[in-house]
């Protein structure tokens, strides 16, 4: 054993957030976004867990599948939060393809030893009830198959409160971010390394 030795310090466990503009703090200062608030909460609680925000505005599930292997290799996360799909829906993309992409992201994350949390979404009603309902239930279905937890509607506490939505009618305001964290926290907390 080397002088003054001992095992090298174990790296801090990582929560990797793979999201779109909703997690990339679109239109507000980055430090006010829900992902940064999560990191602050963990730090305040004395948790060693680090939060890595790999979210990109405009990202689709296909983009997530493409980027995920490199992020898994780089950060070796203990938990992967998948907050993708909204842009697939807003672009009217195939729900089958979206489900397959989500399944693949879950499989890749599990194969890398990470626990997974899926954040579900709803889309505006103008896409028609059949597509809208199919979109909403896709997250539940995929999470159920893979036996991973799901937050059924990430914007549940925000979507019907216009004062918490930016002028574009899509993105939550800075004031809404604590509510987004509040929506995610009960499902995320049990997955965090002790």
20, 23, 109, 171: the active-site residue: 171
Judge whether 20 counts as a catalytic residue.
Answer: no
Give yes or no: 88 in active site: no
Residue among 147, 145, 72 at smallest CA distance from 117: 147
| Token representation of residue 187 | 């499902």
Orientation angle between helical segments 34-44 and 177-188, nearest 10 degrees: 60
Buried b (16+ CB within 10 A) or exposed e, 123-137: beeeeeeeebebbbe
8 A C-beta contact, residue 123 and residue 89? yes
The catalytically annotated residue of 20, 21, 55, 88 is 21
Is 171 designated active site?
Answer: yes
Question: Which residues are catalytically annotated?
Answer: 21, 168, 171
């Amino acid at each position: 054993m080397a002088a003054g030795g001992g095992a090298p310090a174990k790296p801090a466990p990582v929560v990797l957030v793979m999201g779109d503009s909703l997690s990339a703090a679109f239109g507000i200062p980055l430090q006010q976004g829900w992902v940064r608030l999560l990191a602050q909460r963990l730090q305040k609680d004395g948790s060693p867990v680090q939060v890595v925000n790999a979210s990109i505005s405009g990202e689709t599930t296909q983009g997530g599948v493409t980027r995920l292997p490199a992020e898994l290799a780089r950060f070796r996360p203990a938990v992967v939060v998948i907050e993708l799909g909204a842009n697939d829906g807003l672009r009217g993309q195939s729900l089958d393809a979206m489900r397959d992409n989500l399944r693949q992201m879950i499989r890749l994350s599990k194969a890398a030893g990470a626990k997974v949390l899926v954040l579900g979404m709803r889309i505006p009603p103008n896409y028609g009830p059949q597509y809208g309902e199919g979109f909403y239930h896709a997250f539940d279905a995929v999470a159920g198959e893979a036996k991973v937890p799901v937050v059924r509607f990430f914007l549940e506490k925000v979507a019907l409160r216009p004062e918490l939505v930016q002028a574009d009618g899509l993105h939550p305001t800075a004031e809404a971010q604590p509510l987004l964290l509040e929506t995610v926290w009960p499902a995320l907390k049990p997955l965090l390394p002790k």
